[in-house]
Each structure stands twice: as structure tokens, then as C-alpha cells.
Amino acid sequence: MNDVMQTPISVDLGDGTVPIVMVDDEQLDFQLVKLFHKRSCLSNPLLHFFNGAEFLAYLESSKEGAVPLPAVVLMDINMPNMNGFEVIEKIRCDEHFMSTPFIMMLTSSDDPRDRERADTAGANGYLVKPFNPNFYLDFFNSLVNKN
Amino acid sequence: MTTSSISKELRKYRALAWALVVTLIISVALFIQFLSIDRTRAVESFSSSAAHATTTSAMRIAQLIGSLGTIGRDYLVLVPSDAQLLSMMDALNIDLTLSTLCVRDGDAVRVIRSGSEDKKSASDRCAADFLSSEAVEMRAGLDNFTTDLRITRSVFGDTELLELRVRDGGVRELRVSISSTVLLDSTLLNDAGLDIDSETVCLSLRIDGVFHQLTCHVGEIAAAVPEIFTQIESNALSISKEIETDGLHWRLVVQPHLQSLAGAITVLPFIMFGIALAIGIVACVFAYQSADKNIRLEMRADELRTRLQQLEQLEAQNSLLDQFAAMAAHDLQAPIRFIVSTAYLLIDELDELDRPELSQMAETQVEQGERMRALVLDLLEFCRAGQSNLVMSSVDTRALVLEEIKLLRAHQEYAQTHITLGSLPESLVCDADKFALIIRNLLGNAVKFSQVNPDPAVSINATRETFHGSWTFRIKDNGPGVAKEHHERIFRPFARLESSINGTGMGLAIVKIMIEQLGGTTWIDPDDMQGSSFCFSIPSAMLE
């Protein structure tokens, strides 16, 4: 299931100002994540986007340097208009974003086909939304600054 | 019955009626046809023999009439004496050597010659004969013929009659009845100033059952027919011949007697009618039956069509239900997750408050939430299992089982369980994913339930009866076993026998569906009462 606890994730956390982004249409999921993000030892801010379009717009402006590139992106699958896979595909298509940012699929589905699809689309990992939200704490604490 | 089915039934009877009508028409037509053939044949045979008969008759009649002409001229006396009569017979060339001659004069009958009989019996016979009105006997054979000569003359409305009957073949009789005794002589009549055209002067002969009507006149053809000869009809079958005797012109008209024609009708028309009718009836029965069968087939087709429609509707509904169930199961997951997540948060907070009873409540929420989630996941699984998209391939079941065992061993509590593998096919054609799920479920169950036993042991093996028969897999555990009365129930959805053991009750139902999709069956071995033996069969399929 979630083997992320075993292996730490090394991402570019920068000087602690680089944001962590969550793209999810479900407000409550974000609330849970936000709660545990607060409790974690991360200083990076947490940003929320309700849909892929908004996030893509953010990424566009990050090209010019107006806004910072996120360290980690938590991407939900089931969203209206554009689902998570499509968003990732769009992101990876852009030459600027072919290997960064680090995108984790965060979804309620544990269907192996979705895992495969995430991998093909260009996600770096796959997490299933937990019942025990303490998991989020473990996740945030497992992020290691690769710098 | 619906109106359409009633009208269909009526078609049967219509078909039958039509067939019957056609049969009757054909039969009657055949009958008439063969009747006319018979008639034609009779007429032809009559014609051929009539021609012959006419010629011979004509000769004899010519002689007779010649003789009559002589008689007529010679004998003007109305009451001929016996001697006169005898000489008349001579003139007529009638052999009288053996004949009995009787004469009726008014009411008296006297015998002129008795021939070979004695006078008394001859006299009695004559009397009897004169009184009876029998027809002249017809004899077979062309040489013997009977002549019935009747001469009628009507003068000024009175009728005089000379009747001459000559019976051939042994006994000859001459019966003469004379009321007035003027003999026929057309010359005489002319001299008497009679208008031939308006008078009826006829001579008729019946020879061999055939009427010969001699219509005599001088110059023209008269048309009147005496009463006794009204049976003769003028029709196209008559043959006429002109004869001349002693200055008298005669026209001999020969017509077939109806009775002789009637006798010529054979039984053939009736036979043809019978045959046609029989064939027709068979055809009717056939038509009726085939119409019946057609109707039955049509009604069956209608039935099947409605059934098909119903089935399609049901299928649509079913797939809708499946979709609905899947969607429901999917959409339920988020709220369940939130409930459980917030419950976890509550636990943390309440722990700090040191209110164990409240913490307990929150923990119950988590437990039940987890349970709900398991149920929803199983429901989803069940729905997915119901979809039969099989991806067939050659599966190494041994490797697959080993993989599942490895996954199971990851759980600490199962690390000590003995699991033994028997023979397992290494190239079974089936859907690998589904097979894996089946093994996972059954193996998981076996291991879980065997924990009750202090020395838990599970074994898996596969056997088959014939070289190409189905494989029977057996997963045995030494757990508590399943009571016989539950062997059926256990495979139904939501069936749970012991609440102490965790589970949603869907696992075995899912297993059963998947096995059935693979074409096999699943059961618990009733003979193995030490623990449980879950068995399932997979048919040997060929990879296409």
C-alpha cells in the first residue's frame, strides 16, 4: 500500500519558503492535510488549488519567477473538468516541468490500474488517502531536503 | 388470447376451407372429364357399330319395305283373311315353318298356325301375349335380331294400326292386330288426296335395342314422331341414310338409345373422382397442419421477441444497477474516510482530556468506520467481479500461489502457520488476476481460521480425473470447520457464521462469482470433517 514511510522522499525544500501544493476539489481533505502539516516540522507553506486549471495557471506564472516552483505537489485523481492524470500529463508536456515539480498522486482509489496510469502520466509516487490522518504527519516528516 | 392470435387461428381454417374447395373443384372436374370421355367412347363404339348395323339394317329394311310396298298395293282389303296373312308373311320373307301365328281380331284371338305346339296351348299363349305389354326381347349377337314392326297410319284423325312382331330364334309369332285394315301405301294415300305433309305416316323399326325410325314421305322430310317412339331424341349422334324402294324414298335415321349409352358408362370417372378426393383430403390435412405449425412458430417467435425485449430491458436495468452499486460504493468511501479521520483526531484530543469513556466512543467510531469501509470495498469488489471481462492466459498457478503465500507471510500473526503445497498445474488457461484473487481469498480464510488450532496448518493442491478434464483445487485447513448445514449458505453475500472472526461476509461470494465466470464450481468437501476443505474446479480451456 503506502511504502513511503520506509523510504524518505528527497525533494528540493529550498530555504523553507518553497510551497507544498495540494490540488484537490474536496475541502475537507485539504483541512486534514493542513492540520497535520501544521503539526509537522516543515516550515514550507501549504497551498491549495481546487482544480487543475488553477494550478496550471500558477505554474505558468512560476516560469517567469513571479511565484516559486512548489517542492511537492499532492494531486488528487477525481476532479471535475480535468482529472489528476490529465493535469500531470499537461504539466509533464511542458519542457520546464518535465522532471520537476515532484508530484505525488494522493487519491482514495487503490486500483492498480490507477497506479499504472499515474506512473505513465508522469507522477513520482502514489499515495492512498488514509483513514488515520496521522499518516499525513508521517508523510510530511519524511520529506528530506535534498539540498 | 389476443386478437392477433385469434386471427392467426382463423387462418388455419381458411387455409383448410380453400384446400377443400380446390379439392372438390378438381374432383368434380375430373369426374365430368372422364364421364365425357366415357360418353365419347360409347358414342364412338356406337358409331362404329351403328354404321355397320345401319348398313345391314338398311338392306333388310329395304327388302322389307319393298315387300310392304307390294303388299300395300296388292291388299286393299282391311280385313285380311288368314290366307291373306300367310301369303303376306311369305311376301315378307319370314320363315314360318316352325312359327305359331296368332291373330287378334278386335277382342278375339285366333291361331292361324300352331307350328310345333298344340293348338290349345298356342291359343292360350297367344291370348296371354296379346294382353301383356312386354317389350320385345333383345338378344345378344349381331346375327340374331328382333324386329318389331309397327305400321301406323292416321287418316283424317283416326289411327289405324297394323302391328307386326317377328320374334327371331326358334319361335316365330306373328301378331296382327288390325282395327281397320287398310295397309300402308303412300301411293294410295296420294291418290286418296291426302296431304302428306300434314299427315303423319311413319314406319319405325327397333332392331337390336336400337330404334330405327323410318320417316316416310314423298319428296320432303316430315318431322312428326309417333308417340311410342318419343324416346328417340334428335341429337348429333344420329346417323341417317337414304333408301329408295319401288319409287318410295325413305330416310333411315338411326339414333342411339339412351339406355345403351347409359350402359356404356364405366366406373372410371368414379374412380378418378375418388382418387382426386382422397389426394385432396390428404392435401387439406397437410395444409391445415402446416398452417397450424406456421402459426405456432409465429406465435413462438412473438413470444421469444417479447422475451428478448424483456431480457434486454433486464440487462439494461442490471448494468444500471451494477453501475449504480459501483458508483455508490465509490462515493461512499469519501464520507466514510472523513468520519474515521475525524474520529482519529477526536481520539487524540480526548486522550489529552483524560476522558476514557469519550475516547472509547471515538474508538468505536473508528472501528465501525473501518468496518463500513471494508464492506464498501467488498461491495465494489463484488460489483467488479460481476463484470466478466476475462483476460485468458497460461497461468503458472504454483508461482501464483507462492506469491500469495509470501504476501500472507508479511502478516506477523501468520508467520508460524504451516503451508504445504501439493501438485499445482503450471500452465492453466484462465484469467490470472481473478485466479489470484480467488487464491488470496481462500488462502487468507484458511490461514485465518486455522489460527484457532495451536498448530495451524494449511495445504493446497490440485488434481484432475482425466488428462484433459477440469482441475480440482483443494485448500484445506485444520481450523474449526464449517457445519454441514452452512455449506450452501456460506457462499452467499453477507453470509457470516461467526461474528468473532472479522470479515464482511463478501469474500466467499466474490470467490464463487469469479470461479463461475471461469466456468467452474465451488464447494466444501462434505467428507472432510477435520477442519475445512474448500474446493473449486477450473475447466481445462484451450488458448485461442
From A9's Cα to the closest Cα of chain B, the distance in A is 24
Report the pLDDT value the prediction gives residue B307, as an integer from 0 to 100: 93
Mean pLDDT check: name the lowest of A8-17, B123-132, B246-255, B273-282.
B246-255
> B367 to each of B96, B346, B360, how far by Cα in Å?
149, 13, 10
Q: Kindly report, residue by residue over A58-80, the tens digit of the pLDDT.
A: 999 998 889 999 999 999 998 98
- Give tens-digit pLDDT for B338-357: 999 999 888 888 888 888 88
Nearest residue, CB atoms, B337 vs list A35, A129, A134: A129
Q: Does B302 touch chain A (CB under 8 A)?
A: no
Q: For position A109, what pLDDT does the model report?
A: 82
Please give the residue that has the higher pLDDT: either A9 or B501.
Answer: A9
Is a pLDDT exceeding 60 seen at residue B450? yes
Long-range contact list for B343-350, CB < 8 A, 24+ apart? Answer: B343/B369, B344/A131, B344/A132, B344/A133, B344/A134, B345/A35, B345/A133
Mean pLDDT of B358-376: 88
pLDDT for residue A24 is more than 90: yes
Say yes or no: B437 contacts chain A, CB-CB below 8 A: no
The pLDDT, as a whole number, for residue B139 is 34
Strands (E) across B47-89 are located at none
- Chain A hits for B380, CB-CB cut-off 8 Å, are none
Q: Which residues neighbour B85 within 8 Å (Cβ) at sequence distance 6 or greater?
A: B101, B103, B112, B174, B176
Residues in chain A with CB shorter than 8 Å from the CB of B432 are none
The per-residue pLDDT of chain B, averaged, comes to 69
Q: In Å, how far is A132's CA from the nearest CA of chain B? A: 5
What's the CA gap between B514 and B437, in Å, rounded? 9
Residue numbers in B near A26 (CB within 8 A): 334
Average pLDDT on A41-58 reads: 92
B457, burial (CB in 10 Å: exposed 0-12, middle 13-18, buried 19+): middle
Q: B462 in helix, strand or coil?
A: strand
A30-39, B225-234, B500-509: least confident range: B225-234
Q: Is B411 on the interface with A (CB under 8 A)?
A: no
Lowest mean pLDDT, pick from B2-11, B277-286, B364-373, B416-425: B2-11
Question: Chain B residue closest to A27 (CA)?
Answer: B338
* Cα gap B527→B537, rounded to integer Å: 17
Task: Pick from A24, A106, A131 the residue to mutate for testing the B interface (most B CBs within 10 Å).
Answer: A131
Considering only A82-86, A107-111, B248-252, B367-371, which range has the smallest mean pLDDT? B248-252
Nearest-by-Cβ selection for A132 from B334, B338, B344: B344
- CA B248, CA B196: separation in Å to the nearest integer? 13
pLDDT at residue B192 greater than cutoff 50: no
d(CA B490, CA B350): 41
pLDDT reported for residue B256: 43
Which chain A residue has its CA at the smallest distance from B340's CA?
Answer: A131
Q: How many CB atoms lie within 10 A of CB B235?
A: 9
pLDDT for B43 equals 66
pLDDT higher than threshold 60 for residue B98: no
Cβ-based neighbour number of residue B236 at 10 Å: 5
Predicted confidence band of residue B57 (pLDDT cuts 50, 70, 90)? low
At residue B93 the predicted structure's pLDDT band, cuts being 50, 70 and 90, is: low
Contact A73, A46 (CB under 8 A): no
Rounded Cα distance between B455 and B268, Å, is 103
Residues whose CB falls within 8 Å of the CB of residue B335, separated by 6 or more in sequence, listed in order: none
Q: What is the pLDDT of residue B242?
A: 54
Instruction: Assess B333–A contact: CB distance below 8 Å, yes or no.
Output: yes
Q: Could you report the per-residue pLDDT of B16-32, keeping only the tens digit for each?
A: 888 889 999 999 998 88
Q: Tell me the range of B51-65, B141-155, B227-241 where mean pLDDT is highest.
A: B51-65
- Residues of B in Cβ contact (< 8 Å) with A130: 341
Percent of chain B with pLDDT over 70: 57
Residue B263: predicted pLDDT: 55
> What does the block give as the cell for A28?
475537507
pLDDT of residue B211: 40
Q: Any residues with CB less than 8 A from the CB of B251 and at least 6 apart, and which?
A: B214, B215, B216, B221, B240, B241, B242, B243
Phi, psi of B487 (to 5 degrees): -55, -35
Helices (H) and strands (E) in chain A, counts: 5, 7
Instruction: Choose from B332, B337, B363, B407 for mutation: most chain A CBs within 10 A.
Output: B337
**At residue B22, what is the residue type?**
V
Confidence band, pLDDT 50/70/90 cuts, at residue B81: low
Cα(B1)–Cα(B132) distance, integer angstroms: 76
Helix segments in B222-267, DSSP class H: 258-263
Query: Is B195 a residue whose pLDDT tops 80?
Result: no
B299 touches B5 (CB < 8 A): yes
What's the rounded Cα separation, in Å, for the pair B231 and B336? 119
* Confidence band, pLDDT 50/70/90 cuts, at residue B66: low
Give the C-alpha separation, B506 to B490, whole Å: 10
For residue B370, list chain A residues with Cβ-Cβ distance below 8 A: 131
- In this complex, which of B333, B340, B370 lies closest to A108 when CB atoms are compared? B333
Q: Are residues B341 and A32, on separate chains, in Cβ contact within 8 Å?
A: yes
Model confidence at B260, pLDDT cuts 50, 70, 90, reads very low
- Phi/psi for A102 (5° steps) reads -75, 120
Number of cross-chain residue pairs from A and B with Cβ atoms under 8 Å apart? 25
Select the more confidently predicted residue: A15 or B193.
A15
